[in-house]
Amino acid sequence: MAWELTADVEAFEHAAGEFLRARPVQHTVLLTLVGTLRRRGLHAYGAGDPVFGFWRLPGGDVGGLLVQTPPHPMMFSALPAEAVPAAVEVLAGRALSGVNMLADSIDEFVAGWRELTGAKATVDLRSRLYLLDALTPPAAPGGRARVADHGDRELLLRWDAAFHDDIGERQPADGGAAIDERLGYGGILLWEVDGVPVSAATRSPIHAGMSRVQTVYTPKEHRGRGYAGAVTTAATQSALDQGAEAVVLFTDLANPTSNGLYQRLGYRPVEDRVVVEFS
């Protein structure tokens, strides 16, 4: 049993692809990360070189994964108990800005990393993964949904920057490329009233039957009118219409409004994650 690290995304996909696709709901972010890096290159998320790793079980099968796209925190799949302290050891000497792990395993890793490096650890985010059970559309506000096109690009760039400012998250390395890709597969839904966009939601490409609703944003002047629920419903239905067998999304557990909204739309909790930053 041991961790194997690589900088080669294709080697990682060859070794870990079956493991990833076996649990597409729980591996939603890892699937989209790897897919994006294969399509857009290793520096799609930043200038630093990504790190990939997989935990080998006694029989040789993969039993856990890690992926880091610097400067973002390293993300782990669910891990066997013995893989957590082993991850601390194998990553010794590497610069970690933080980690994103399941809530039931992060404390052990953080304690080990602090002992090894002396780093200070701060909880940055507690999130919950939801899976769609049965879509329950809300009472529709005025307006309608439509798929965004390239004529909306400048608006979407402004809204993407405002979204990241609102949540206190660093801007993507190349947000324009990400928006262009999403526009290319019809992955951004707008809610508009009298022809004016008032809210937006993004959905990921379908991987292993799974699509994830992302970046739901409503400008402050349009909030409180039901537009976020309406555009989330539209993005969810779009994923289903394109053949998704599972639709998922994440929420910030500190935001009771969004957690309540998505449950009313028919999403059910799956697992909790914690992001810890090191300094």
Could you say which of 91, 119, 147 is where a domain stops? 119
Cα gap 156→231, rounded to integer Å: 14
pLDDT, average across residues 46-50 = 92
pLDDT, average across residues 26-45 = 94
Same domain, 265 and 144: yes
245-272, pLDDT tens digit by residue? Answer: 999 999 999 999 999 999 999 999 999 9
Could you say which of 119, 146, 173 is where a domain stops? 119
Is residue 197 over pLDDT 80?
yes
Residue 112 within any structural domain of the chain: yes
Q: What is the pLDDT of residue 175?
A: 74
Structure-block tokens of residue 217? 């944003």
Provide the percentage of residues in the chain whose pLDDT is more than 70.
Answer: 98
pLDDT, average across residues 17-21 = 97
* Size of the chain in residues: 279
Residue 275 within any structural domain of the chain: no
Most confident region among 18-27, 39-48, 171-180 by mean pLDDT? 18-27
Structure-block tokens of residue 268? 């059910």
* Neighbour tally for 262: CB within 10 Å: 24
Q: In this structure, which amino acid lies at residue 29? A: V
Q: What is the pLDDT of residue 140?
A: 84
Residue 221 within any structural domain of the chain: yes
Residue 231 within any structural domain of the chain: yes
Q: What is the pLDDT of residue 167?
A: 81
pLDDT, average across residues 116-136 = 97
Same domain, 14 and 113: yes
Residue 244 within any structural domain of the chain: yes
Provide the percentage of residues in the chain whose pLDDT is more than 90.
Answer: 92
Cα gap 44→238, rounded to integer Å: 25
Same domain, 150 and 83: no
Is residue 114 over pLDDT 80?
yes
Comparing CA positions, the residue from 164, 159, 210, 167 lying closest to residue 189 is 159
CATH number of the domain enclosing 224: 3.40.630.30
Q: What is the pLDDT of residue 172?
A: 67
Domain that holds residue 249: 132-270
Q: What is the pLDDT of residue 3?
A: 98
Same domain, 249 and 176: yes
pLDDT, average across residues 14-34 = 97
Comparing CA positions, the residue from 268, 270, 273, 272 lying closest to residue 132 is 268
Burial (Cβ within 10 Å: 0-12, 13-18, ≥19) of residue 45? buried
Q: What is the pLDDT of residue 25?
A: 98
pLDDT category of residue 43 using cuts at 50, 70 and 90: very high
pLDDT, average across residues 219-243 = 97
pLDDT, average across residues 22-42 = 96
Is residue 233 over pLDDT 90?
yes
pLDDT, average across residues 189-200 = 97
Cα gap 59→70, rounded to integer Å: 32
pLDDT, average across residues 43-50 = 92
Same domain, 109 and 147: no
Overall number of domains in the chain: 2
159-174, pLDDT tens digit by residue? Answer: 999 998 888 776 666 7
Cβ atoms of 204 and 112 closer than 8 Å: no
The predicted model scores a pTM of 0.94
Could you say which of 119, 144, 170 is where a domain stops? 119
Cα gap 97→206, rounded to integer Å: 29
Cβ atoms of 234 and 189 closer than 8 Å: yes
Cα gap 46→60, rounded to integer Å: 32
Q: At 240, give phi and psi (nearest 5°).
A: -65, -40
- Which residues in the chain belong to E strands, given as ranges? 2-6, 51-56, 62-68, 74-76, 98-102, 121-132, 144-147, 188-193, 196-203, 210-217, 246-252, 267-278
Average pLDDT, the chain: 95
Q: What is the pLDDT of residue 173?
A: 63
